[in-house]
Structure 1
Amino acid sequence: MAAEPGPNFTTPRLRLRPPVTTDSDFVQDMYSRAAVMRFIGTGQIQPTRDQALDRIQRYRRLFGPGTGAWLLEGITDGAPLGFALLKHIPFSADISEADPSAAPDVEIGWHLHPDAWGRGYAAEAATELIAHARHCGHQDLVAVTHPDNHPSQAVARRIGMTSAGLTQRYYDTVCELFTLTL
């Protein structure tokens, strides 16, 4: 695999770095869990090594000016904990068709392994990525959650995002939208 495509960050408890092929066992374990996938995409688990490697490649392709997908690992033990993302969020088809020249919004998100839930890692990583987004000149961030994903909504509020209610603006589905002006 080529050199790391984006910056690394360190917080008091976390290291954020681009994922590499050797992370595939962790990625396979995490995204093969129904509890993790319940609120991500179609909700389908991804149990194979090939799916894990594909996800790593997709995440590496997200790196660009002020965007990326970082693996979170414990600073003291290097244990992988999940991912934090800054990426261009896809508009729903009706939004794209109405204004095909619209500049994409930037989404902040997080996916954590169940062993890391409830420890504040998502908010800690997201806070670091908000600082990165500001530094890169982003003006606003959005976060979307499944309407029933209350823990993720709590993270969005904890990092200073404001609920804007339900929307169908993204991903061709109904999401709870959170916004943050930088």
Structure 2
Amino acid sequence: MGGVVSEVLLETERLRLRRFAGTDADAARLLELDADPEVMRYIGPFARESVAAYRELIRVWLPFYENPPGGVWAVEERATGDILGWVFVRPAPFHRMASAIGWTRDTELELGYRFRRAAWGHGYATECAGPLVRAALANPAVTAVVAVALVTNRASTRVMEKVGLRYQRQVELPGYADPGAVYVLSRAEG
């Protein structure tokens, strides 16, 4: 499924998912997103400190785009072109705590998302994550889509449920007081 990747992966009624280009503008938007303590409340202190550091992060993401719908996709509002946040589908073992969670199979893809506070409560995460989950499971090489969020992050786990993932179990996450809630949708269920 590899090859040249279009800048735009998909469009919904309100949103456009496009590749991050590695420009200063994209990197600055990521820096701004992660600088909001409320956005990072359930994620932790993993923000980078400069536009250059986010340009490098975007470079690290480039291999994910080789197998669409894999990638970290900028979520733009179609009407304005504003970046509201991002959504990704990537191999689950790439997660920084994959071993603690038990994600060892490259055939499982992790779903993740992060949005500006002003975008919360509008259904944007569900609107763009749903098509990504369906596209991922349409690939015969993918056995499941998985996700994790702190059990206290009910808004995030609710998105997982709305796009069809099912609660599987709790897991202790190193460095966090609250456990993680692991969700999964296997090919057989999808």
Judged with a 3 Å threshold, the aligned counterparts in structure 2 of structure 1 residues 103 and 33 are, in CA distance, closer, same or farther, namely same
What count of residue pairs does the alignment treat as equivalent?
173
1:162 alignment partner in structure 2: 166
Residue 165 of structure 1: how far off its partner (Å): 2.3
Distance 1:132 1:7 in 2: 14
1:60 alignment partner in structure 2: 62
Residue 60 of structure 1: how far off its partner (Å): 2.5
CA contact (8 A) 2:72 2:89 kept: yes
1:79 alignment partner in structure 2: 82
Residue identity (%): 24
Which residues of 2 match residues 13-24 of structure 1 at below 5 A? 13-20=14-21, 21=23, 22-24=25-27
Q: Which amino acid aligns with 2:185?
A: L
CA contact (8 A) 1:65 1:136 kept: no
Question: Please, which runs of 5 or more residues in structure 2 have no aligned partner?
Answer: none
Question: Please, which runs of 5 or more residues in structure 1 have no aligned partner?
Answer: 97-101
1:125 alignment partner in structure 2: 128
Residue 7 of structure 1: how far off its partner (Å): 5.5
CA RMSD of aligned residues (A): 2.5
Residue 116 of structure 1: how far off its partner (Å): 0.7
Q: Counterpart of 1:34 in 2: which secondary structure?
A: coil
2:10 alignment partner in structure 1: 9
Find 2:35's aligned residue among 26, 32, 37.
32
Q: Counterpart of 2:38 in 1: which secondary structure?
A: helix
Q: Which amino acid aligns with 1:175?
A: G
Distance 1:124 1:149 in 2: 19
CA contact (8 A) 1:34 1:45 kept: no
Distance 1:141 1:160 in 2: 10
Q: Which amino acid aligns with 2:81?
A: G
Distance 1:115 1:4 in 2: 30
TM-score, L = length of structure 1: 0.83
Residue 24 of structure 1: how far off its partner (Å): 1.7
TM-score, L = length of structure 2: 0.79
Q: Counterpart of 1:63 in 2: which secondary structure?
A: helix
2:152 alignment partner in structure 1: 148
Q: Which amino acid aligns with 1:54?
A: E
Q: Which amino acid aligns with 1:127?
A: G
Residue 158 of structure 1: how far off its partner (Å): 1.2
CA contact (8 A) 1:6 1:64 kept: no
Distance 1:172 1:132 in 2: 33
Distance 1:45 1:4 in 2: 27
